Chains A and B, each alone.
Chain A
Amino acid sequence: MTATGGFAPKILVFSTHTISDPGIDLAGSSHLHYSPTVMVISLPCTSGIRPDWITYAIEQGFDGVFVATDGEECAFLPNCAELSSHIVSRAQEMLKEKGYEPRRVRMAAICSVCADPFVNHMAEFSAALADLGPSTEERAA
């Protein structure tokens, strides 16, 4: 809930230490705004995300999960983009099985200077999740 009382979707972002997290930092250093209900866990690489972390986050009360990948820039794995999108699809399938909207999970490439694109993604994703309503209600339904 925000100070204004409207529904502010809680979004968990998975970022990467060397590429997308610096991009998200740059949004902050540039004093660009996104909702404070967006929270970030930074990992070495998005290919290391377990799909059940995504479903766990939604089941515990996050309204959406955003995977900020390195796209083609990943220094670890040549097929990182493919592996990461596979993880996201699996998480979406698992969510569907549990009765959640698969659109609660999104993925996009965020580079180390992608401050504006990140903020735009958060605005769009927040709006889309606001339309879906809180994840907790979905589960109850």
Chain B
Amino acid sequence: MTAANGTAPGGAATTPGAGDNGKRRIGVYVCHCGGNISDYVDVDSVVKELEGDPEVIVAKTAMFTCSDATQQEIIQDIQEQGLDGIVVASCSPKLHTYTFRDVARRAGLSPFQYTQVNVREQCSWTHTDDKTGATEKAKRLVKAGVGRTRLTVPLEPIVVETVPKAVVIGGGVAGLRAALGLAGIGISAFLVEKEAQLGGWAAGFGEMYPYGKNGRAMVKDLEAKVRSNPDITVFTNAEVTGKAGSFGNYQVDVRVQPGGGKAPETITVNAGSIVVATGFAAYPVAEDELGYGLDGVITLPDFKKMLDGATGPLTYNGKPVKNIAYIYCVGSRQDPYEVEGGHEYCSRYCCTATVHASLEVAALGGHTHQYHLHRDVRTYGKYEKLYDESLNKGSVYLKVPDDEPPVVTRDQKSGRLLVTTKDVLAERAEIEIPADLVVLVTAMVPRENEELTKALKLPIGKSGFFNEIHPKLRPVETVVDGVYICGTCQQPMNSAEAVASGLAAVTQSASILKRGFAELDPLVAMVDQSLCTWCGACDEVCPYGAPQEIEVTGADGAVKKVATIDKTACKGCGGCIPVCPVNAIDLEGYTDAQIRAMIDGMLAEPGLPGCVTQEVIG
């Protein structure tokens, strides 16, 4: 197993894993993909192309390389022929890299001595108009793959020990539920909340959609469970200010404000993973935007407070509220050409929250007329029923133009508010609505959290929320190993969705913390310390703090400062490689020698072996 702080370049010169005579023993499998490839690429001639290469021991075609039978055959070849590298030329590496890495592993070969060559998406499928060209290209690509494989070294995943504890940052519904989930499976949780109270937004709400559950009561219930759980430590008035250590074993600094004028205290806790659940902020409406500032023009969060406090028909300034106009999508779905740095996304919760609020108004009695000035009603899934219900209760929905927001003024004669807009579904007929209250349905926006973002090196997406690795496949993981995001700090969500993603972060934490160890990809940067002069350029470009300064004693006995890469911090992006003035850095799996070998393979004219670069004239 690899040590956490390795430095030796996996130099190709000695080629560990090579056969007895120093020569490699490579197996190449070219896939028909049932015809998806072989209808356009002459796969037999691709295999034939490798005949002259003394290091290609096995070269064959297969109808479906990913089938169980062929996987077995590859394993058998590796074991019987003593193969030390394999190349599969088939579909995109996005589909089967892990399949074939696993085949190598099962055969006792390092999973990183396998190369996937894309001859489907990037060859047969795109050159259906040119079979000769596609076949020639496939030959070049396969030779590039063989060239790369020739220089592979038997890497193993980096194994790190993990501590069965987690820090949850943010005590809203997502964070509370995540802390309970962790404790429930035996992972101790430290819950860090910035405010004096737990619960986030939901703690301030009365009835919530979809089932009318009371937000305050729900938070109270969660808080009681959290406080009484011996495996959860709660810090309020507390913030995370720093993180040291590495994946699986972080030291997290928590600054706690004891109150009563006492100085803040910093406590360091040890944790294997960090779950960020810091929530959202409400869109700050600008003075004058849609009449904001006029008496009676309020935001949805303020309206919600008013509703939660009401016991009978709504009144405002002591007068009954007869007409309400809701203006939807305030601060959401903004046109980037109209509003600089605007929020292009839909805030997701607000259509349903507004429809739900209108039902609460109806339930209070008082025959209030309610006008919903929307751009589309997005009461998706089961929330559509709430929309139907509000129609039945008399709410009126008007689709207003995307490019022309309503105008809110005060009518001098009547003293009431006046909303002027156009009805898109009635040929943009102009409409005037007198209103006692205008509710601005405000967006969810990212919360200011600069200190935390810096401390954890959290990636921020285009919309300003924290960014996951992949929205579909890895929805709560970030590029920082062991740091997960959930709830509305990631994107707009309602409370059910926030809780669900909190639980997904629990599962991810469990998958690394319950085993006691975790495996990291070893495709990271490495420094040739004989060349390095510790100029610091790599350290400057790396946002993960992976390059570190150490002292080594050279062959001449002199001590010098050089860079070493913390393998568990390195993301393997390669960003430090071109900035090194002495070319001392290589990326495992994509070394300088491997890239050049791939270029050579691609340029070797068909009919000639891939290891020899041919001068091509004309």
Contacts and interface: CB of A to CB of B under 8 A. Distances in A.
B140 A39 contact: yes
A20 B152 CA distance: 25
Interface string A10-50: 10100001100110111111011111110111111101111
Contact of B573 (A3, A41, A47, A57): A47
Given A35-B133, A53-B596, A77-B575, A44 B590 contact: yes
B118 A44 contact: no
B125 interface: yes
Contacts of B256: none
Interface residues of B, number: 56
Contacts of B469: 75
A87 interface: yes
A134 interface: yes
B568 to A, nearest CB: 16
B616 A41 contact: no
B583 A50 contact: yes
Contacts of A77: 541, 543, 573, 575
Contacts of B92: 21-22, 25
A120 B120 CA distance: 20
Given A44-B572, A136-B618, A27 B126 contact: yes
B134 A60 contact: no
Nearest to B616: A61
A83 interface: yes
A50 B133 contact: no
B182 interface: no
B571 A31 contact: no
Contacts, number: 145
A39 to B, nearest CB: 5
B24 interface: no
Contacts of A10: 603
B511 interface: no
B122 A50 contact: no
B236 interface: no
Given A24-B122, A33-B129, A42-B93, A49 B479 contact: no
Contacts of B614: 61
A47 B602 CA distance: 22
Given A45-B574, A57-B599, A3 B132 contact: yes
A51 B583 CA distance: 11
B193 interface: no
A124 interface: no
Given A33-B127, A75-B459, A50 B577 contact: yes
Contacts of B574: 43-45, 47-49
Contacts of A76: 479, 543, 571, 573, 575
A29 B121 contact: yes
A62 B603 contact: yes
Given A34-B126, A39-B141, A50 B578 contact: yes
Contacts of B577: 48, 50
Interface in A103-141: 134, 136-137
Given A10-B603, A39-B141, A87-B578, A44 B122 contact: no
Given A61-B616, A134-B618, A53 B600 contact: no
B133 A51 contact: no
Interface in B98-127: 118, 120-123, 125-127
A21 B617 CA distance: 30
A3 B578 CA distance: 38
B122 A83 contact: no
Nearest to A73: B462
Contacts of B467: 75
B174 interface: no
Interface of A: 2-3, 10, 12, 17-18, 21-22, 24-29, 31-37, 39-45, 47-51, 53, 56-57, 60-62, 72-73, 75-78, 80, 83, 87, 90, 134, 136-137
Interface of B: 92-94, 118, 120-123, 125-130, 132-134, 136-137, 140-141, 144, 459, 462, 467, 469-470, 479, 523, 541, 543, 571-575, 577-579, 583, 587, 590, 592, 595-596, 598-600, 602-603, 613-618
